[in-house]
Chain A
Amino acid sequence: MRENREEALLREALETARARAREPLEKLGWEQIEDRVWSALDDPKAAKERPPVPFWLGLLVRPRLVAPALATLCVALALGVLLTRHTDRKAPVPHVRATVLRKQGNVEYLRGNAEGSKWRRLEPGRRLFPGTRVRAGVDAGAVVEVAPSTEVRLSDNTQVELEQLNLRRRRIEVIEGLVRVDVNPELRGGDFVMHTSNAQCRVAGTVFTVRFDRAEGVPRTTLRVIAGDVVFICTARPRIRRTVSAPGVAVMLGDSLADPGSDDGELAGGEVTLSPSFRGEPVGVHTRSDDMPGTDELPLRPEAGDPPRLGNDTLHGSIASSTKVRNAKEKVNTSAGTVDSIQPEKDHVFLDRAAYARKRWGLSRKDGRIHGAVPLTFLRLSGSTSEEPWQGEELKMIAEFVSRKTDIHAQIDRPSVTMDGRYKSFSYWLRRSRRRGISRARTGTDQPERTALEKLSDAVSLTATGDGERFRRNVTDLLTAYFQQRYGVSGLDIHGADWAERLKDSLKLAPWQEQFLHEAERSYRHVLEPGPTKGREVHGIYDFLRISELMDYPFLLCDPPGSIRSLSAENMKLLRTYLEHGGCIYFANHAEPTTCAAARGFIAELIQERLYGRGDREMLRRYRANERRQTGYVFDPPTPQIFHPWTVLPMILPEQADVFLSMKDSDGNQVFADTLVELEAGSYVSEDGYQWPGVDNEGGDLPSGFYVYQAAAGLGNTFHGVRISRLRRLRPRGHRVFHNPFQISDIPRGIQEETSELTYNEPGAYGVATDGYLMIVYTEGYGELELLRSHNTHYQGEETVLRWTANVMTEFLRGWTADGEGR
C-alpha cells in the first residue's frame, strides 16, 4: 500500500516535470554568455593544453589531501612502532586460531569439507583454522590450545571439529570419542561451547570431559565434570533414561520438551557425573523415586534448597534433578487450578479464564443449570505486578447485566460471583456486558465503535435465541442497507457468489476497503450456512463496519472504552490500517493511570514493529528464549515508554552478579553506562526494577532516535535495539491534523525544528511520530475533569466520563488551533 502511494507520488511529480519541460524557455543573457565563451577560448592559458599531471604529483599538489595523507602516515608509523614493541616482548597466542601443543601417535587433520580433501599428518606447532577437523587414531592423542590457557585434549579414537573460533565464541563439536577440556577461568563473558549432535554444554572456568559415542546406533553424550560449573543443555530427545545423582549441575531441557509429543517421555538428557573433587556449592538435590512424581511436587515458587530459578518461564527447564517429568511445559497442576499455557514473554502467568470457568462450573452442572460460586483467584508469579484480571467495576457490570438480561441471579461476594441460572461461559457474559455497556452509554457521542456495534447488535443478539433464520435475515438486511447508505448501491444482491467483486468493479475502492470487503464477504458466507448460530460468524462483517466507520474520522478518540481497549489481533489490524491512511489517534491524560494502558501498549507495539519488523519478532522471541535457557540471564529490551520520562530495563539474574548496562547511539558512541555492583539474584522486571530516565551520563535528555542497549552479567551478554520516541509539543496553530479538509495554505514554509523541550506534566497538546509523521495526539494538563464538571452531564460511569472528556477536548483543540486561542 505504501509502495503504491510512493509510486503514485513519483508518477505525478514526473508528469508535472515533463509538462514543465515542454514549456517555453526563459530568456538568458546570451550576449554575455557568448562573450564569456569566446574570451575563455581566446585566453592563451585556456587555449594552451596542460600536460597531464601524474597521479602521485596530483596528490601532493592538492592541499586538501595533504593533511589526511600526513595523518594516515603518522598513524601507520605509530601502529608499526607499537606492534614492533609488543612483538618483541612476547608473541600473543592468537584467539581465533587453535595451536597444536603436543601429540602422540597418529593424529591427522582435515580442513574444510571432508569430501575431496585428504587427511594430513598433524605436527605440533601447527595452527588450526575454524572448520578444521582433527582425529586421533588408536593409542594416539593430542593437546590443542584454542585460547590462552584453554586446552582441549583429544584421547584416542576421537574426532572433533573446530567450528567457530572467534573472540566471543569458541565452539568445538565432538564427532566421536572422548575429549577433556580445561577452560581458562578468565573466559567469563565469552562462551566456550562443546557441542554434540544431541547435547551441548556451556562452561566457564571448568575442567570437564565429554564423551560422544554413536556406536550403538543411539547418540549418547556423557559429561564428566572435574571442577567448576557447567550448564548442560540437551538439544535432542534421545530416550536415554538416566538418574542425575549428584549435586552441582543444572540440567536444562532444550527444545525436546517443547514438542507436545514428548508427553510421558523421560527426561531428555545424558549422563552427568561429578567427581568427588567437585568444588562448586551444592545447589540442592531432590531425591525422588523413579516413579512418576506427583505434579504437585513441582513448585511454582522456588523453595529453600532449590537451584536458582532461571526465569519465570523456565518451569520446564529449571528442574535440577528430577528423573521423569510429565510434559512439564504443557501442564502444571497447582492448588489454585491448572496452568494450561505458559507465556514465556510475559512476566506473569494467568489462568485461562474461560477454561478455568468451564472447569469449575462444569463440575456442578446438571440439566443445563448450575449452582455454585466461582472463586475469582488467579495466579501471579513472584516479581509480577500484574493487576487482578477482574476489577470491582467489571464484576459489578457483569452482575448487573446478567441479572437484567437473564433469569440468573448474580450476586457479588468479592472475590467471587455467585450465579444461579442457565450455564453460560464466564467469558461470554464478560464480552456481552462490555459490548452492551459501551452501546448503552454512548448517547450523544459520535464514536465509530458504537455506530458499528449498534448496527450489528440487534442481529447478533439473536444468536442467543438460536433463531438462525431471523439472524441471517437481519444480517442480510443490515448489509444491504449499509451498502445503499454508504456507497449509494441500491438493489445489491448479496446472495450471489461474487457480489463483492461486482461492488469492487462498479466502485472505486481503496485497497483497505477491498481487503475488508472480502473479509465481510467471507464472513457473510458463514452466516448463510444453515444451522444454529454462534455469533462468531459476523466477525468479518463487524470488522468491515468498524473500519468503514473509523476511516471517516480524522481522530480516533482513544479513551479506554474505545476501539483499542485490548491489543487483540483484530484491533491491531484495524488501527494499523487506520493509521497508515492518515488517521490520528487522540487521547487525553487523566487521573487514572491504568486506563490508557491499552493505547500505550498499542503505540509501544507499533514502535517495536518499526524497530524489528513484524516477521522478525518471532525469531527474536525464540532467540531470547534460547538465550534464557542457555545462560539463565534475562535482559529483555525496555518497552518503549513515550509518555513517561523513564523506562525499566528488565533483567532476571540467576545468581548475584555485577551488571553492566550501556547505551550506544547510532554512530556507536557510548552515551550512557552504568554498573550495578553485586546485584542480588532475582527478577527486576517491574517498576521497582532498574529505571533508566532516558538520559546520558551527564544527565541530559537523549534525543529521539535509535540506540543500542547492551546488558552484560556473568554468562549473559545481550544487545537490543531501542528506539526512543519523545513527545513533541505541537505548535499552537496551523498544524494540519486540526484542519479538515487539508488546505494548501497549511503547507509550512520550511520545517521549523520543534524547540520545545520534553516537558512532562506541562499543559499542552503533544504529538508522537513513530514513522516520520504525526499519528498520535495526546493532551495533558487541561483539567478535563473540571471541564466535565462545568458541563452538566448525567453520565456517571467512568468510561462515559472519559469518552465525553475526549470529545470535549477535541472540540476544544479545534477551536483553539483555528482561532489561536482557547474557547
Chain B
Amino acid sequence: MSVDVSQEIIRAASRGNRKSQQVIFRACKGKVHQLVRLFLGPRGRDEIEDVVAMCYVELFKSLRMFQGRCSFGTWIDRICYRACLMHLRRKYRRRKVAFMPAGDEISQSAEDQRPDALQRLVTQEQVEWLYEALDTISPERRAVIIMHEVQEKPIEEVAEIVRVRQGTVKSRLFRAKRELARRLNTLRRSE
C-alpha cells in the first residue's frame, strides 16, 4: 500500500499548512488503519481509533524531521510502528497471563446458518488464538512477526522501519516464532 504524496505537499504540511496536512491525512488513511489493525488485532478493536489518531498526531508533529532518505511510505510505517509500540508496551506491562473468555463471535448463533459459517468461525478462532499468543510475547517481537510474516515485508524493509540491523530482525523473528508456536500449542491443548 504505497502513499502517493509530492515533496511540496510534505514540505508545506511540515510548515503547518492545514490543507496539505489534510491531503496527507486522506492519502495515508488506508495504510495507517491497516497497520494499526494488524498490530492491535481483534482484541484491540475498540482502541483502533485512539491509536490511529495518535499515529496522525505523531506523524504531523514529526513531519519536519522527514529528510527523504527513505520513502515516505516507509517513514509512515516507522511512525505508526513507534506509536503502536508505545501503546502495546503500556498494555504489555499491564498484561495478565490468564485465559480470557473468547468473544461472542465464537458462539454460533442460531440465525447464522450460512454454509461457510463454520469455516468463518474456525478462521476467526485461529486469528483469536494467534493474537492471544501474540499478547504474551514482547511488543518488539510482535511487531517483527506482523510486518514480516503477516504483511510480508522483506527483512530489509522491516530493519529499516524498526531501525535495527537485519541480523537483529532475523533473531527476533526466530525467537518470536518459536515462542509463538509453543504458546499456540499450549492454547490449542488447553482448549
Interface residues of A (CB under 8 A from B): 2, 5-7, 9-10, 12-14, 16-21, 25-26, 28-30, 32-34, 36-38, 40-41, 46, 744-745, 747-751, 772-773
Contacts and interface: CB of A to CB of B under 8 A. Distances in A.
A2 B178 CA distance: 12
A28 B49 contact: yes
B119 to A, nearest CB: 11
A25 B33 contact: yes
Contact of B126 (A16, A25, A37, A749): A16
B122 A744 contact: yes
Interface residues of B, number: 50
A38 B21 CA distance: 9
B172 interface: no
20 contacts: A6-B182, A6-B184, A7-B181, A10-B180, A10-B184, A12-B126, A13-B184, A17-B130, A18-B149, A19-B123, A20-B123, A21-B151, A25-B30, A28-B33, A30-B29, A33-B56, A41-B57, A750-B99, A751-B190, A772-B186
B109 to A, nearest CB: 13
Contacts of B133: 13
A664 B147 CA distance: 44
If over half of B's interface residues share one DSSP class (helix, strand or loop), that class is named, otherwise mixed; here it is helix
Contacts of A26: 37
Contacts of B185: 2, 5-6, 9
A6 B99 CA distance: 19
Nearest to B33: A25
A33 to B, nearest CB: 5
Nearest to B126: A16
Given A5-B185, A25-B33, A744 B118 contact: yes
A773 B187 CA distance: 10
Query: 6 closest Cβ contacts across the A-B interface?
Result: A750-B101, A6-B181, A751-B99, A773-B189, A10-B181, A13-B130
A750 B128 CA distance: 12
Contact of A749 (B30, B34, B60, B106): B106
B121 interface: yes
B52 A33 contact: yes
Contacts of A21: 34, 38, 150-151
Contacts of B107: 749
Given A25-B37, A32-B49, A773 B190 contact: yes
Given A41-B60, A41-B61, 17 more contacts: A2-B185, A6-B182, A13-B130, A13-B184, A17-B126, A21-B150, A21-B151, A25-B33, A26-B37, A38-B18, A40-B57, A745-B108, A747-B191, A748-B191, A749-B102, A750-B99, A751-B190
Interface string B149-185: 1111000000000000000000000000100111011
B129 interface: yes
Given A16-B130, A750-B102, A751-B99, A40 B150 contact: no
A751 B132 CA distance: 14
B100 interface: yes
A397 B184 CA distance: 51
B27 interface: no
A49 B190 CA distance: 50
Interface in B1-29: 18, 21-22, 25, 29
Contacts of B127: 13, 16-17, 20
Interface in B96-150: 99-102, 106-108, 118, 121-123, 125-127, 129-130, 133, 149-150
Contacts of A772: 186, 189-190
B86 interface: no
A807 to B, nearest CB: 28
B150 A14 contact: yes
A33 B53 contact: yes
Nearest to B121: A744
Interface of B: 18, 21-22, 25, 29-30, 33-34, 37-38, 48-49, 52-53, 56-57, 60-61, 99-102, 106-108, 118, 121-123, 125-127, 129-130, 133, 149-152, 177, 180-182, 184-186, 188-191
Given A6-B184, A744-B118, A750-B100, A16 B52 contact: no
A18 B150 contact: yes
B113 to A, nearest CB: 15
A33 B101 contact: no
Nearest to B60: A41
Contact of A40 (B37, B53, B102, B189): B53
A217 B141 CA distance: 62
Among A16, A37, A40, A749: residue with most chain B CB under 10 A: A37
Given A21-B151, A28-B48, A749-B102, A37 B25 contact: yes
B178 to A, nearest CB: 8
A726 B188 CA distance: 22
Contacts of B126: 12-13, 16-17
Contacts of B190: 751, 772-773
Given A16-B130, A749-B101, A751-B190, A9 B34 contact: no
A398 to B, nearest CB: 44
Contacts of A12: 126
Given A36-B53, A745-B108, A750-B101, A14 B25 contact: no
Among A10, A46, A748: residue with most chain B CB under 10 A: A10
Contacts of B182: 6
Contacts of B188: 9
Nearest to A33: B53
Contacts of A34: 22, 25
Nearest to B131: A17
B160 to A, nearest CB: 20
B186 A18 contact: no
A25 B125 CA distance: 19
A40 B50 CA distance: 12
Contacts of A18: 149-150, 152
Contacts of B186: 772
A456 B44 CA distance: 60
Contacts of B121: 744
A30 B38 CA distance: 18
Among A14, A18, A773: residue with most chain B CB under 10 A: A14
Given A28-B48, A29-B49, A14 B57 contact: no
A750 B133 CA distance: 15
Given A13-B129, A748-B191, A749-B107, A37 B150 contact: no
A7 B56 CA distance: 37
A37 to B, nearest CB: 4
B151 to A, nearest CB: 7
Contacts of B129: 13
A21 B146 CA distance: 10
A288 B53 CA distance: 95
A517 B181 CA distance: 29
Given A5-B185, A28-B52, A37 B123 contact: no
Given A28-B49, A747-B125, A37 B57 contact: yes
A14 B130 contact: yes
Among B37, B100, B181, B182: residue with most chain A CB under 10 A: B181
B43 to A, nearest CB: 13
Contacts of B38: 21
Among B33, B53, B121: residue with most chain A CB under 10 A: B53
A2 B33 CA distance: 37
Contacts of B123: 16, 19-20
Nearest to B56: A37
Contacts of B108: 744-745
B17 to A, nearest CB: 12
B54 to A, nearest CB: 9
Contacts of B37: 25-26
Contacts of A2: 185
A773 B186 CA distance: 9
Contacts of B61: 41
B33 A37 contact: no
Nearest to B187: A9
A17 B53 CA distance: 24
B68 to A, nearest CB: 22
A747 B189 CA distance: 11
